[in-house]
Amino acid sequence: MDKKKYLIGKLRFVYLAFELLTLILCYLLIYINIKSKMSNGDLVVFSLRLGIILCVKFIISIVFANFYINKVKNFLGNLVKDIQKLAFNGIGTLKGREYYNFAEFSDIIKAFSFILRKKEDLENELVLMVDDMENRVVEKTKDLSNSIEEAKSVAKSKDAMLAYVSHEIRSPMSSIIGMCELLINESIPVTAENYAKNIIKESESLIKITNNLLSQAKSDSERVILDKTSINVEEFVKRVITLGINNNRHNLNIDYILETDIPDKIYTDEVKLYQIVSNIFFNALKFTLSGSVTIYVSYTKPVLEFNIVDTGIGIPIDRIDYIFEKYKQLDSNLTIEYRGAGLGLYITKNLVELMNGSINVLSEPGNGSCFSVTIPVDEIYSADKQEEIKILVVEDYSTNRMIVKRHLESVGYHVTEAVNGQEAVDMANREKYDIILMDIQMPVLNGYDSTLKIRAEGLNRGTPIIAMTANGIQVVGERCMSVGMNDILLKPIKKSSFIECIQKYLKGDICV
Give the domain CATH number at 486.
3.40.50.2300
Do residues 257 and 315 share a domain?
yes
The model's pTM: 0.44
Helix axes 40-87, 103-185, angle to 10 degrees: 20
Residue 510 in this model has a pLDDT that exceeds 60: no
Do residues 437 and 499 share a domain?
yes
pLDDT at 387: 52
Residue 442 in this model has a pLDDT that exceeds 80: yes
- Of 8-22, 177-191, 428-442, 459-473, the range with the lowest mean pLDDT is 8-22
Do residues 376 and 448 share a domain?
no
AA identity, residue 240: V
CA 391 to chain centre: 42
pLDDT tier at 308, thresholds 50, 70, 90? very high
Final residue of a structural domain among 380, 398, 423: 380
pLDDT at 296: 95
Residue 445 in this model has a pLDDT that exceeds 80: yes
**What whole-number distance in Å separates Cα of residue 84 and Cα of residue 158?**
64
Do residues 358 and 404 share a domain?
no
**327-371: pLDDT as tens digits:** 555 554 444 444 444 556 888 888 898 889 999 999 888 889 999
φ, ψ of residue 460 to 5 degrees: the values are -115, 35
Do residues 345 and 429 share a domain?
no
Beta bridge partners of 373: 306, 359
Sheet holding 303-310, edge to edge: 253-258, 292-300, 303-310, 369-376, 358-363
Final residue of a structural domain among 332, 358, 380: 380
**151-163: pLDDT as tens digits:** 777 766 766 666 6
**Neighbouring C-beta atoms of residue 369, cutoff 10 Å:** 24
Print the domain residue range for 34.
Answer: 7-92
Residue 243 inside a domain? The answer is: yes
- Of 57-61, 252-256, 321-325, the range with the lowest mean pLDDT is 57-61
Pick the closest to residue 369 from 291, 319, 310, 290 (CA basis): 310
**88-124: pLDDT as tens digits:** 655 544 444 444 455 656 666 667 667 777 777 787 8
pLDDT at 358: 93
* Distances in whole angstroms, Cα of residue 156 to Cα of each of 171, 222, 354, 473: 22, 14, 22, 11
Count up the domains in the chain and report the number.
3
We report the CATH number of the domain holding residue 335 as: 3.30.565.10
Question: 60 versus 183: which is more confidently predicted?
Answer: 183
Residue 64 inside a domain? The answer is: yes
pLDDT tier at 211, thresholds 50, 70, 90? low
